[in-house]
Amino acid sequence: QVQLVESGGGSVQAGGSLRLSCVASTNTYTLNSMAWFRQAPGREREWVAFIYTRGTRGSDTAYADSVKGRFAVSHDSPKNTVYLQMNSLKPEDTAMYYCAADRGILGSLSRLRTDTYTYWGQGTQVTVSS
C-alpha cells in the first residue's frame, strides 16, 4: 500500500505564494502518474495539475485552465516527492489540496478523474484571503 503525505498548506493573502509537498512511501519512479486535486467546501473535488514521474514520459505536465501560468508541478525522484508551487494566489484557490497517484500511465482524459487514482493523501488546507 502506498502512502502519500501532503504538507505546506497555510493561510496567505491574495497575490502570495505557497509550495505544497507530497511525499510518497515508495519510489515515485514506480508510480508513473501523480496529480494534485483540490476541494472547496460544498464543491466537488477538481483536478489541478498532473505530472508523469517515470521514465520515457519524463516530466510531462498538465494544468487546469484556472491555474495555468500561476501553478507549477515538479518531481524530485530521489526524495520521492512531488511539489506544487502556487504563485499569484487568489481567494478562489482556497480549498483542501490532495495529492493522488496511480501506477498506470494516464491519458489526457483519465488523469482528470478522481476515480482513476488508486492512492490519495489526507490533504493540506490552503486559505487565501483578499
Q: For each of the chain's 130 residues, which pLDDT tens digit applies?
A: 899 999 999 999 999 999 999 999 998 888 889 999 999 999 999 999 999 887 555 568 999 999 999 999 998 988 999 999 999 999 999 999 999 999 988 888 999 999 999 999 999 999 999 9
Round to whole Å and give the CA distance between 62 and 109. 11
Q: Are 102 and 32 in contact (CB under 8 A)?
A: yes
Please say whether the dihedral angle defined by the alpha carbons of residues 28, 77, 95 and 68, taken in this order, is positive or negative. Answer: negative
pLDDT value for 82: 95
State the first-to-last Cα distance of the chain, in angstroms, to the nearest integer: 40
pLDDT value for 101: 96
Name the residue among 27, 24, 17, 32 with its Cα closest to residue 89.
17
